[in-house]
Structure 1
Amino acid sequence: MAKQTGNAHQLDNLLIDAEYPELPGFSRNKVRDTYQLPDRRRLLIATDRQSAFDVVLAAVPYKGQVLTQIARYWFDETKDICPNHVISYPDPNVVMAKDLDMLPIEIVVRSYLTGSTNTSIWPMYERGERMIYGHKFPDGLKKNQKLSKSIITPTTKPPQGGHDAPITEFEILETQLVTTEQWHEIKEKSLALFARGQELAATKGLILVDTKYEFGLDENGVVVVADEIHTPDSSRFWIAETYQRSFEAGEEPNSLDKEFLRLWVVSQCDPYNDPIPVIPDDTLREFSNKYVALYEQLTGLKFEIPETSIPVRERVRSALALELSEYF
């Protein structure tokens, strides 16, 4: 794990706002600030904002950089399975991407009975549901148990500020949210991407538990994977060597992903009905350490701690001014 020095100012040099008035087509998502550029290009800037339960909770040191660099690793490792949206990386937090016609569903692939959000399969199972996302589950399963095979549990993509909602394959095909041909293609590609992710993660001592994919169509109608892939925001990663012992003891697995923060929130309140308390600085630093550790364990590279004397926002702006000099 990277030794994170300079704790006193880790939380003072965060990229919370990446809105630059020189650039056109600005929009803000929970984590990324994006820009619509000419010639079917889209600029995505991963900030340090941290979301869970469909709200922004805090800002986390190095979060945006880790997300961008882990996604970069996985895009490179899976481009033979499915083309991706990447054009270039102007900055450690920034992706210049193809602007796609996004498909209106998210594909979640799962190999374990786990989760803490309303769209996760464990809370549904714990409530007594046995037909979940169109899949039949037997009685007697335990939290964090491995499933007999990987399954797809899609959700709708809501308008800004809305909540993801579970949907079944039957409902997707019945309503033609995507065409039958598109559905079968993204389903096949999702399972192939997930299998590659599990295979490579296993060689690094990790279990890729589940993940989310988003797909769009390029100018030629080709299916392209977009947004992010196999990051700790969109996936669960467990430490392989301690999983079985934790499972048998009825304990949460050692993880390097967003679930750490979700579980902290759930231990403090009902995040869907109660105000979420302020997250302590030490908890945010511990969370940051997990993301950095995942990057290093997956890639085998040392995480490059940003220069603390330069505000991240200024560094990103300088990189954008070089990449898009016509606007600056």
Structure 2
Amino acid sequence: MSQNRLVPNTFLYTFNYAEEEEHLCKLEARSLFRSNLHAFVLESRMNIDPSRSPFIKEKIEVLFKCDTLEDLVQKVEVMPALNSTYKVIGVNYRDIDPLDKMAFEERKSIARQVGCLIPGIANLHQPEVVFAITKLKGKWYFGYYSENQGIWLIHQQKPHNYSTALTTRVARVLVNIAVPELTGITVIDPCCGIGTVLVEALSMGVNITGSDYNPLVMKGIRNNLAHFGLSGPVFLRDIRDITEMYDVAIIDMPYNLCSVVSNEEKFEMLQCARHFAKKMVVVTTEDIDGILNEVGFEIVDRCEVTKGKFVRQIIVCC
């Protein structure tokens, strides 16, 4: 960070999701921002990297929030000189209020007007710093701009995969729901399969351990991690053999024809998780509320994810 970089007062995030992903996006937002998402834009004191979530489109680190454009211009005029090249863009977000919306030519004109006032060297093609201007509920916002880099899209190209595995998109959201604070938290995926959750978690710097009882997947997991330059502990072991304690467990319950699990086995799996994890995020295609309650978990949040006729439940337990 350059010495003359200003400190933001708050952060403005814009979101994008498909209709069938709405509930999953809102569950993730409740976890990351400790706030309900009612629209496609959210103002928060939480500083989150936009690339953490598949649903966050962009972030503005708000330096100035003004009632009028004239007030904003006056604040920009007295900014300290920049050591970096820059450009200014105007931003509309999805489903914006018509009273806040800036037409294309208006956005360009305002960005040009404000950009000319910034003490520094403009570079419209390869700037070192990008500033953004937008309107929300009649207020003008100006600040540092960053976009989602879509890291999970790269992770789709794993050397090994299962047709029934979670998508990298859903896996990344699961990690965010389970681990809103990345540091100081120990995590386990005790049924890690081919390692989809592990890849997303490790790419975000999460302290996660993977394990699975199937020896046939071990080589695939390690190859997938190595393919992306990631490393982390992965063990061949049954969930019943886990003895160390973790802050959070992420469990994608077996559900395909090759992994038929009886109610007794589900009970035993979740009972084991209760013993080694303080919190759990579980993915299931079946109703397991009764089992969760019976083994001592309290359901604190949840949502459904629908893909065609296929429905997954995401359940957060403590």
Q: Which TM-score band (shorter chain)? A: under 0.3
The TM-score, its normalising length taken from structure 2, stands at 0.24
Determine which structure has more spread, i.e. the larger CA radius of gyration.
2
